[in-house]
Copies of this chain bind each other. A is one copy, B any other.
Amino acid sequence: MTERTRRPSAPTIYDIAEKAGVAASTVSRALNKPGRISTETEARIRAAADELGYRLNPMARSLQSGLTGNLALVMSDMTNPVYFDLVRGAERVTADAGCTLLFADSQENVDIELDAAQRLLRVADGLMLVGSRLSDEQILSLSALKPVVTVNRLVDGIPAATAEVEVGVHQAVRHLHELGHRDIVYLEGPSASWMNGRRHEVIAADAAALGMTVTFLDSDGPTIEGGHAAVPRVVATGATAVIAFNDLLAFGLLQGSREAGVDVPVSLSVVGFDDIFGANLLTPPLTTVRSHMRNLGEAAVLALRNAIAGEDERETERPATELIVRGTTGPVAPAGP
């Protein structure tokens, strides 16, 4: 057997206590309750701790307090670039608070999601659900265990962080209207997605207010393939513009259109949601509604920490959305009936 690095068992507060000639409880207080112990004793203890390379055993503390200092995040699909900034923001704020972020991907699968949520909840103080596909009941049952915060989803009695929807959609619909579009398609996301419902509603309302016709088309899934497969059905509607539930769908729409010989943006305008990685790299670059996911991630962590602390859930601010106009939208083709 190879000579491997010895990993001696970590020093405990008892080791420190012995070295400093005090009781373990005194060490604990010296390290955690500022002012509780006399200055010189505390200094002696800290010196001993440093010398021993002491590191607190979080499990022991957790056992006592019931709190782990971990926050869990379960998302529907980490491969979806939408969530990058969200995770970044969440991770950042979590670390700033001295906590650590646990994290799982449900791959758009309810069973996996539920399983991951329950698994993480055992070792975390609370849970954030992003783009959850769980039912309201399932979410409520999770929240019976530990505090739960939903992101871009509203469940009665559960604190939530949501991005504002209206402004971005409003800008997008108006933008299409100004370009002369009157018949548009909304390519739906997953029916279990709360955010999809919101976008659907707001688009319907805005379009109606401007006298535009909207056809709602289901997609196979919020993916590139889903968008690709939807092209024939979109074309069949005769609409001159499509708003897709997300950029992945829009990517697929673009890809499928090219293969089908449909010229974007000349004969079809395409708008996505989220402004994910790559949206500006395509040719033409994608017009899309950006939401500030980073802020959303931060807001979620804040809300969760509030819930864990048992504070009254204050209204969290809703990160804004805005239309980014690029190359996939253009004036409706002059060709008429």
Residue of B nearest to A105 (CB): B91
A251–B102 touching, CB < 8 Å: no
Residue of B nearest to A62 (CB): B59
In angstroms, Cα B104 to Cα A297, docked, is 15
Which chain B positions have C-beta within 8 A of A211?
Answer: none
Chain A contacts with B in 44-85, Cβ cutoff 8 A:
55-60, 62-63, 66, 68-70, 78-79, 81, 84
A95 located at the interface, meaning its Cβ lies under 8 Å from any Cβ of chain B in the complex: yes
As for how many copies of this chain the complex holds, the number is 2
B68–A59 touching, CB < 8 Å: yes
Which chain B positions have C-beta within 8 A of A104?
Answer: 91, 95, 100-101
- A14 to nearest B CB, angstroms? 14
Using CB atoms and an 8 Å cutoff, list the residues of chain A in contact with chain B: 1-2, 5, 7, 9, 55-60, 62-63, 66, 68-70, 78-79, 81, 84, 87-88, 91, 95, 100-105, 115-116, 119-120, 122-123, 143-146, 157, 224, 251, 255, 277-278, 281-283, 312
Enumerate 10 A-B pairs (CB-CB under 8 Å) in ascending A order. Answer: A2-B312, A59-B63, A59-B123, A60-B63, A79-B88, A91-B104, A95-B115, A251-B281, A278-B278, A282-B283
Which chain B positions have C-beta within 8 A of A62?
Answer: 59
- A50 to nearest B CB, angstroms? 15
- A296 to nearest B CB, angstroms? 16
Q: A5 contacts which of B57, B122, B144 (Cβ < 8 Å)?
A: B144
- A262 to nearest B CB, angstroms? 15
In angstroms, Cα B281 to Cα A224, docked, is 10
In angstroms, Cα B87 to Cα A84, docked, is 13
In angstroms, Cα B63 to Cα A123, docked, is 13
Which chain B positions have C-beta within 8 A of A157?
Answer: 5
